Amino acid sequence: MRDQPSPEMQAMAELLRANGIFNGGTLDVAALRSGMNDGALPLPEGATRSDFERDGLKLTHIGSADARSDRGILYFHGGGYVLGSLDSHAELMARVASACRAPVLGLDYRLAPEHPYPAAVDDAVASYERLLDQGIAPEAIVLAGDSAGGGLVLACLLALKQAGKPLPAGAILFSPWTDLTASGASTDNRAAVDPMVSAALLAPMAAHYAGATDAGTPLISPLFGELNDLPPLLIQVGDHEILLDDSTRLAQRAEAADVDVTLEIYPGAFHVFQSMPQVPESAEALATAAAFFDRVMP
């Protein structure tokens, strides 16, 4: 991993800071949802996409030219539990599929405030159980997600463990939002350098998602869950994120629980930088994610 951010990373951070799309203090859900979809990047060459609905779940199958059919990734998109869609994250899922040489199944889980907790967790668990019901072995599945989707991956793992269900081979977390109570020190000490996310924006998102439930509940803030017996975790986060401590504390707690955990902190990187192919760190991060994927596969 490089010691300094690339020039492209620095330039993109400055552009994000100047635009201030997501780091303002006002949560206009409709406008932000529309903006994320309108700004979606096209699928890379060679990628395929097929949308479908099964058992009330909205899903998309993302394939790549050299994907293997004997293993796959179940992906939960980010967006603070109130934003994001299969459209906004299809390009990232396609590059994940290409890097890992495996198909990606993306879930369009229900969003708050229309559908607060536990709707997203219920949808995540149902999508995984559907794969098992189709005869797919849990050891052939890796869960992955970014931001709130990364937190949802962890919440899904905790819910599956509580229910006594077999767990997947591993989990890949891009800048996961694991603490909706905002108790991490980075909420304050990274505020001046984070070009994308602000505490003022995250607070209403957390309130919309938690609804009447305490935001510290482990299935809402999985940082506070019992992490023992979870499968291997790969956590990637930028050093310039107010959510940095959501990853560092997760890694510390997972290691204390004897979980196989790998934490990668990218210098000068912003929230979910993997979603921007313009920065070289994005390809580097997906390459290490692919190596992790290959390691945990049987």
Please pick, among 88, 271, 282, 284, the residue that the annotation labels catalytic: 271
Contact assessment for residue 2 and residue 281, using Cβ atoms and an 8 Å cutoff: yes
208 is catalytic: no
DSSP state of 275: G
Cβ 159 vs Cβ 120: under 8 Å = no
20 within 8 A of 290, measured Cβ to Cβ = no
Burial class (CB in 10 A: 0-12, 13-18, 19+), 268: middle
Q: How far is CA 258 from CA 74, 138, 184, 232, 252, in A?
A: 24, 21, 22, 10, 10
* Strands (E) located in 127-200: 141-146, 170-174
Q: Which of these is catalytic: 241, 264, 281, 284?
A: 241
* 147 carries an active-site annotation: yes
Q: How many Cα atoms occupy the beta-carbon half-sphere of 35 within 13 Å?
A: 12
User: Is 115 a residue of the active site?
Assistant: no
Catalytic choice (64, 88, 147, 175): 147
Task: Give per-residue burial for 94-106: e unless 16+ CB within 10 Å, then b.
Answer: bbbbbbbebbbbb
Q: Which of 52, 136, 46, 142 is closest to 94 using CA atoms?
A: 46
For tokens 């996409």, the residue is: 49
Residue 231 and residue 235: Cα distance in Å, rounded? 13
Q: Which residues are catalytic?
A: 147, 241, 271
